Structures are given as C-alpha cells and as structure tokens.
Amino acid sequence: MRWLELLPSSVGFGVLLAFAVLAAGAAQAPTAAGQSAVLDGPGVWTLRDLGYSDIVMPAGGGTVIPSPSGIPLRTTEPVTYLLPDGAAQGPDIWYLMHFHFEIEFQEDTQGGSAEVATMINFDGSPSFGTSAAIEFMPVVRNGALTVDWDALGLTDGRQTGSSESGRVEMQFSNYLSNAGVRPGENSILFVLREYEGVKVAALHVFDDTSIEVSPLSPPELAVDVAAGWEPPARGGETFEVPYTVRNVGGWPAKDVVAEVSYPEDGLWLLGAPTVTTLLLEGGEETSGNFKFRALSRGAYDITLSVGGRTGGNDQTTVTATITSPADDPARRWGLVALVVGLSALPIIPFGRLLDSFTGRGVRPD
C-alpha cells in the first residue's frame, strides 16, 4: 500500500502488519483525554475508556504531514496511553488494535483511491508502528458511486469487499507492529491519504475503537508427516502420505489449506491436491493423508505445504523410493522356477525350441 513509502524500502508490508491477537477483557474506568491511562494487564481499552469520544476528520481537515511523493498524509490529533515498564510485543503479552471507522466519499468522486491507516508512536522519523492499512477504490458503476476495498491482517487475513454507496463502515483488527509497543507513553494517529484527485467527505473513527492486551500469540501453522511412514517398494502399488497440521500459536487460524506437490512423471495422485480446514483453534491439530500410485522407479520428493488466511506458512518434504516390480525377489525366483519346470517336461523339447528361436541348429536348404 502506497502510504508505506514513508518507510525504508527494506521494511515490508508483512513486517508492518505483524504481531496481534484477540482476547476478551474488562473495560477500564474512563480517563480524561490527555491524561494517559495505563494498560497494565490483559483487557480491552476503548477510546472512550481512554477519555476520547468519536474522532471526525472532515474534507480537507486534519494535520498535514508531507511525504517524499508529494502526496500528503492527513492525520487526526493523537490518542495517548501508557504501557508498563518492559512492555514489548510478545512473547508472553501481545497488543492488538480493533479499528472501527467509517469513510465517506463525495458524490463527484471518480477513480483514484484513498487509504486509511494508523501510525503509532510517530515522531517524524521512519521508525513508527502500525496496525492497519486499508485501501479504498471508489468507482462509478451503472451511474452510481460504489467503493471497493482491500485489507490485510493476521486475525482475519486478506479481506476484500464492495459497498453499493459512497460510504463504507468497517471493523478491522490486527496486531500492532513491534515499533507500536514501547514502555511509557504511546500515541496513535489515524491517517487518511487521497490519490489521483479522489475526494473524501469525512473519516469518522468511532469511540469503541480499542487497544487490547492479550496472552495469546499470533496464529502459526506447522505441518509434518506422521511418524513411522514408510515409502513404497514397488511400482504399480498405491501408498499414502499421512500428515498432521498444527496451529502452534494462540489465535485461531482460518481457511487452513494443506497442499501437496510431487513429480507427475513418477507418481499419480489419487484425489484432490488440497484439503481445507475452515478453522483451527490455537493448540489444535488436524490430520489427513494424500494417496498416490507409483508409476515408475526412482526417488521422488513429495512436498506438503500449509497456509491459511491467518498464520504463517510451513512445509515439509519426504522422499518416496520406488523400485521396479521386476526387482521383487519373490517374483524373480518364481520366474526361474517356471523356466526350469518347463524345460524338464518331456512333451516340450525346450532345448530345441530355444535353438530354433535363436537360429542355432537350423540347416540351410
């Protein structure tokens, strides 16, 4: 998303959106705005709890922050709160933002885009945190203004949608980035940026927007092949590769897809190459298997990978060693016994038949 050009090029979008989780907690007593509340344990603190009401940025309003591209950012006044000594993102305590807002576009907007984001602990340098960056694309369809949107986070993954009017209300949750968590006073700026002449009538941040403190870690997926799996021995046989997928994190992983890849010239997959689990809670696991038929001899790598709408990807590779059916000792000795038996039968002159076949003992006319 383009507003991230404020950051060093080495900082990726995924890094900015890393680290967050949802947990229930009791709201704290309201604090007067400007007198920072201390978020000193698991719980949820809304803007209202922190002493703030709804925040509205009208068309052309807000504090302007210049950017290298020449397209300025417009920000609200900061929301502040305190974190205790030693506060950091993980590994035992995690910080999450629930962002509830509405964006409204002017009726004469056509084309272009707008981005709504958060900047946490921004001090004019590139080293600030974030938790949200949502892009909106207003377009005219059938003579009416509609708005498409696109967002990415760790609690719900990739989210896209469309509004049949020039107004979109959203609730977006995500982890704060590492730079968005520090001991002492922390601050949040709600940010709007407009591209290519797009016209935003207002950005409305609702007072139930909140910071959450939780012991749950982000979702993290792992996959492995079940212990004791033995590769097949002979071509033409079928075999299974059993696997287990685990969510080793705390937050639920959604739309978890286990997928297998393999060399198609040597193996034939019996069934679908992917298996989807809609929800895998923190600490839970699910198991399955992919079934193959061995086509030809050789050593073949079979890779199992797993990913979800939330949570990190993982993969593992096993090797199936296939031998030819002719390499079966029992089958080979059975063939030898058959040949010996046939050659001993008096009614079949096996030696002479063999001579004739090879051309030996045949007299010319």
Residues 61-73 have pLDDT tens digits of 999 988 777 788 9
Res 30: pLDDT: 54
Q: Please indicate, yes or no, whether residues 183 and 230 belong to a single structural domain of this protein.
A: no
Based on the fold, state whether residues 227 and 190 are members of the same structural domain: no
pLDDT at 32: 61
My answer on whether 269 and 334 are in the same domain is no
Q: Read off the tokens for 161.
A: 């949608």
The whole-number average pLDDT for the span 175-202 is 94
The rounded distance, in Å, linking the Cα atoms of 247 and 286 is: 9
pLDDT of residue 14: 34
Let me know whether 7 and 133 are in one domain.
yes
Q: Are 250 and 295 found together in one domain?
A: yes
pLDDT band at 88; cut points 50, 70, 90: very high
Does the pLDDT value for residue 56 go beyond 70?
A: yes
Q: Confirm if 198 and 60 have CB atoms less than 8 A apart.
A: no
273 and 130 in a single domain? The answer is: no
Query: Tell me: the pLDDT tens digits for 282-336?
Result: 999 999 999 999 998 899 999 999 999 887 899 999 999 898 776 554 444 443 4
Are 313 and 174 within one domain? no
Q: What is the CATH number of the domain that holds 185?
A: 2.60.120.260
Between CA 282 and CA 22 the distance in angstroms is 12
The domain containing residue 342 runs over which residues?
A: 328-358
Identify the sign of the CA torsion 205, 48, 37, 94.
Answer: negative
pLDDT higher at 196 or 28: 196
The closest of 193, 32, 201, 33 to 119, measured between CA atoms, is: 193
Determine, yes or no, domain membership for 365. no
Of residues 114 and 19, the one with the higher pLDDT is 114
Residues 314 and 250 in one domain: yes
Do 34 and 133 belong together in one domain?
A: yes
Instruction: Identify the pLDDT of residue 161.
Output: 94
pLDDT of residue 160: 92
Please count the structural domains in the chain: 3
**Nearest by Cα to 149 from 138, 141, 164:** 138
The phi, psi pair for 20, rounded to 5°, reads: -165, 165
pLDDT beyond 90 at 196: no
Which of 89, 189, 49, 72 lies closest to 130 in space, CA to CA? 189
What pLDDT does 292 receive? 95
Average pLDDT over residues 247-271: 94
Same domain as 278, residue 132:
no
Pick the more confident residue, 19 or 281: 281
Based on the fold, state whether residues 145 and 251 are members of the same structural domain: no
